[in-house]
Every structure is written in structure tokens, then in C-alpha cells.
Amino acid sequence: MCRPFITSLEKNRAIQEFADNLSTLCRAVIPCLAKALLLVFAALGPLHAEDPPRTMSASPPAINSAPPRSITPAIDPNIKTIQSRYTTITYSDVKALRKFNNKLYMGNLKYLLKGKKSDTIEDEVKNKIDLIVEKVETVLDMYPATLRFNIVIHGSTRGVQAAYQRIYHRKVNYIAFFSPGEKTVFYSANNAKLRVVTHEIGHVVAENYFAISPPPKIHEVLAQYAEMHIND
């Protein structure tokens, strides 16, 4: 009996089909698995009493044991805000806002911004952030009943790291982080890549979706998943 001949093209198509099917399976399974695990954790009760930050770091994040404190700044006439559908974006340096906007290249999501009013940099930034929030909700299949949070844009990572130290009393090398207690994401303008911005918003969506805050490792899985699939 002759063995059927398989061409390289057919083999490549089979491999691609398998990869596509695997990707589709992962997209369906990972959020569902995370939700199932969280139901178990919810039944067991809260596993941590503290409020650990959710981070994007240059090294693996460490869970902080110190409780957060308010970082409400003194009134500063230089501080400006942008109101979007989901966020209040705070910045004090127009150059930093412009850099943040330029770094935040939207990739495959860019076409979804067409038709939105973008007369100013402020318009562009808030439209991008709102679009990322909605895409993260879709990717994770998590739609919080109410979602409102803050974003602080610093000119450099030094500002982000200083904010972290003020809240958690520790020195770190993070380029961005989300503080659940403050309901605030801190970004550095020079690291405002789509995946970095998406990662922290993934933490925000997960934190606001569940009645009980997910354990840090589950939080990180969901944020990484959102980051990986933001351009799908």
C-alpha cells in the first residue's frame, strides 16, 4: 500500500491550522479557567488582607506587605486633567503627554479610532485609553458593572518609582504599576508602549470585575493574557 505523499505546502497548512486552533482554544480556556479558580478562592475567602500593587517591572514583581496610603498631591496649578469615559488622566508636563501619545502606537487597533474626535493631543490620548479598556474587556470577557479609575502620567520611570515608594515604602525598578487602593495606574511617558499600557489596564479590569480581589498570580495571568492578545 503506497503512503500518501504530503507536500510542504500541505504540511505548512496543517501546522498553521493546528496553531490557529490551539490559539482559539487558549483564548477560550484561559479566561474561563481563571474565573473558575476565582470561584474556588471566593468560596475559601480572601487569601490576602493587604492591597498588593499590580506591576509591570524590569524584574519579577514582589508583593508588598505595607498597606497603601493616600498620595493626594498638594494643589498644583501645573497639574492638568483629562476626563475620558473610564478614566481621569493626570499629568503636569505637556511634553510628557505628547511623548506618551507618540509612544502609544495602536497597531491593529488604529482603524477603530477613525471617526473619533481627535483635534488635540488630549483627545487622542483619551480615545486611545478608552479603546484599550474596551478591547481588554472583550479579550478577557470581563465587563465590570462600573469602571472608573485614575491614570497618572510621569515624564520618566523615576516618577513612577517615586510614586511607588511614597505609597508602599519600597524602592523598585518598575516602569508602571497599578495601585488598587488608590484606583490609579502610574505610567512613564517613555515606556508607554501598547503592551505596557494594556498590561496595567488588564489589572484594572480584573480588579473591578470580581467582588473579591484575585490572588496576585491570577491577576498576573489575566494581565499578561490581555497584553498578548490586545492586537488580535
Average pLDDT over residues 140-166: 96
What percentage of the chain exceeds 70 in pLDDT? 67
Contact status, residue 177 vs residue 56, Cβ threshold 8 Å: yes
pLDDT surpassing 80 at residue 114: yes
Please report whether residue 151 resides in a domain: yes
Per the structure, the complete domain to which residue 97 belongs is given by 12-229
Cell digits for 13?
497548512
Secondary structure element (H or E) that encloses residue 88, with its range: strand 87-91
Average pLDDT over residues 155-174: 96
pLDDT surpassing 70 at residue 143: yes
Please report whether residue 3 resides in a domain: no
pLDDT surpassing 90 at residue 139: yes
pLDDT at residue 72, as a whole number: 44
Please report whether residue 56 resides in a domain: yes
pLDDT surpassing 80 at residue 156: yes
Distance, CA of 121 to CA of 42 (rounded, Å): 42
Half-sphere exposure of 198 (CA within 13 A, CB side): 27
pLDDT at residue 78, as a whole number: 79
Average pLDDT over residues 198-215: 95
Rounded to 10°, the helix 121-140/194-209 angle is: 60
pLDDT at residue 226, as a whole number: 97
pLDDT at residue 144, as a whole number: 96
Average pLDDT over residues 195-216: 95
pLDDT at residue 116, as a whole number: 87
pLDDT surpassing 50 at residue 105: yes
Distance, CA of 182 to CA of 51 (rounded, Å): 10
Please report whether residue 125 resides in a domain: yes
Cβ neighbours for 181, distance < 8 A, ≥ 6 positions apart: 51, 67, 68, 167
Q: With the C-alpha atoms ordered 210, 213, 216, 220, is the resulting torsion angle positive or negative?
A: positive
- What is the pTM for the complete model shown? 0.74
Q: Which residue has the higher pLDDT, 64 or 51?
A: 51
Burial of 71 (0-12, 13-18, 19+ CB in 10 A): middle
Distance, CA of 26 to CA of 224 (rounded, Å): 13
Q: Which residue has the higher pLDDT, 231 or 115?
A: 231
Cβ neighbours for 59, distance < 8 A, ≥ 6 positions apart: 173
Please report whether residue 6 resides in a domain: no
Please report whether residue 7 resides in a domain: no
Which residues are 188's β-sheet partners? 154
Phi/psi-derived region of residue 89, left when phi > 0, alpha when psi is between -120 and 50, beta in every other case: beta
pLDDT surpassing 60 at residue 14: no
Q: Which residue has the higher pLDDT, 60 or 51?
A: 51
Please report whether residue 5 resides in a domain: no
Which residues are 81's β-sheet partners? 90
- The structural domain count of the chain equals 1
pLDDT surpassing 90 at residue 88: yes
pLDDT surpassing 90 at residue 161: yes
